[in-house]
Amino acid sequence: MSATMIKEFRLPDLGEGLTESEILSWKVAVGDTVTLNQVIAEVETAKAVVELPSPFAGVVTALHEQPGTIVEVGKPIVSFEVDDAGSGTATGGSAAPVAEAVGAPAKREPNLVGYGAVVEASGRPVRRQRAQSGAAAALAEQSAPAQPLPAATPVDEPLDALSAGERPRSTPPVRKLARDLGIDLQMVTGTGPAGLITRADVQNFVDAAAAGTPAVPAAVGVPGVLPGERETRTPIKGVRKFTAAAMVQSAFTAPHVTEFLTVDVTPTMELLARLKASKGFEGYKLTPLTIAAKAVLVALRRNPTLNSRWDEAAQEIVQFNYVNLGIAAATPRGLTVPNIKDADRMTLLELSMALSELTDTARAGKTSPAELSGGTISITNIGVFGIDAGTPILNPGEAAIVALGSVRKAPWVHNDELAVRQVMSLSLSFDHRMVDGEQGSRFLTDLGAILADPAIVMTML
């Protein structure tokens, strides 16, 4: 009879130096037998929702953290009883944290999607390996699993049974809905299997509170939300917490300059209509953002200084010879800026496909940490909200961001006559440490010229 031993699984760094994650749900309970790479938990980082595969094969002996708890990287979250003969892992190794503190505490600088490179006491950043997608990269150093990760678990799958005294049973989408509405799930009675709280239960509770009547079924002995409540408090965590830190760091580190240009984009809108009707783009999603993104890439060829970053430690300006084009996306979890890798090498058709995939993935909350890091310049499409212009804040580590305003019909002088044309305002914010006023102005002028007359691209390439 082989001996057994207890192994602790510590929360790993799930990519790009993140320092903490929230336990959304456990997919296992104490006493469950798990296999190597079986999904045991779902956690939310500042970047994405990630499924954690087990680094061991064995029996769950303890869950150290409850759902809803924010846990620092390196802290134990679950313990297993494993066979001592093989330690229960693919390699027989231990489940030590991915990143252990060595010597003096390291400093992490905030960026839009989390925390960036570790900075040593000397002030020089430590280069990290390129992040892999999902939890596989985070666990690679711990268990080197030989098997592929399990298929993604549907987000609406009911949670496993929770012991008495834990928070109400619900799924991550339902908990998010409750947070957005300012509802304490302790006040809601679940009508789903084994008391699971559903979306309908939350909505029923809100409707009943608004009408001043008890929710049906009512939570016995628990008061509801008072009608006319004057405040709703939402914890600052996850994406919003790191976005706030990144925006403060960017606004007070990089000297921002914003310039504006209003352009007659009627020719671009006519081109867009012709492309949509052509066989080559049949079935593909084309929008003004697609054309504008391509125009940004062309303008960058003539003005490469805007595709740079400031290396404070080395006192160098790093100019990128590739373009990872960031697209700001408003998601239920907050603002994210996933980027299209090597966008400058793509055709217009390839760019349209990449944009569609990027936005669909972001809205579904499935953007991976790798897709949220490594951007070199960004676009924010504020026009979809009916806004004409703005002063966008730079994504930390980038030299420029372009804001696209709404396309509106407006009176415009065309061929020396007043006419109704389709007009767009462009806003360009840039870091004045790297980009001079002339360089920023030339880029914005080139961008406007392309959108005003797409055929002029032939003279720029």
Task: Output 219 or 78, whichever has higher pLDDT.
Answer: 78
Q: What's the confidence (pLDDT) of residue 238?
A: 65
Q: CB 163: neighbour CB atoms within 10 A?
A: 9
Instruction: State the angle between helix axes of 288-302 and 266-277 in degrees (0 to 180), rounded to the nearest 10.
Output: 120
What share of the chain has pLDDT > 90, as a percent?
Answer: 45
Confidence tier at 201 by pLDDT (50, 70, 90)? confident
Mean local confidence (pLDDT), 431-448: 95
Confidence tier at 210 by pLDDT (50, 70, 90)? low
Q: What is the DSSP letter of 197?
A: B
Query: What distance in Å separates the CA atoms of residue 198 and residue 175, rounded to the nearest whole number?
Result: 9
Task: Output 168 or 94, whichever has higher pLDDT.
Answer: 168
Q: Where in the chain is the domain with CATH 2.40.50.100?
A: 4-143
Q: What's the confidence (pLDDT) of residue 134?
A: 41
Class of domain 253-459: alpha beta
pLDDT value at 144 more than 70: no
Enumerate the β-bridge partners of residue 53. 39
- Cis amide prior to 125 (ω within 30 degrees): no
What integer best gives the mean pLDDT of the chain? 78
Q: Which CATH number fits domain 4-143: 3.30.360.10, 2.40.50.100, 3.40.50.720, 1.10.620.20?
A: 2.40.50.100
Is residue 369 within 8 Å of 45, Cβ to Cβ?
A: yes
Q: Indicate whether this model's pTM tops 0.75.
A: no
Tell me the residue type at 309: R
Mean local confidence (pLDDT), 271-283: 93
432 catalytic per annotation? yes
Query: What distance in Å separates the CA atoms of residue 48 and residue 367, rounded to the nearest whole number?
Result: 6
- Cis amide prior to 148 (ω within 30 degrees): no
**Strand, coil or helix: 301:** helix
Q: Where in the chain is the domain with CATH 3.30.559.10?
A: 253-459
User: What is the dihedral sign for C-alpha 168, 173, 176, 177?
Assistant: negative
Give the pair of three-digit tokens for residue 308. 């740079």
User: What is the dihedral sign for C-alpha 181, 187, 191, 195?
Assistant: positive
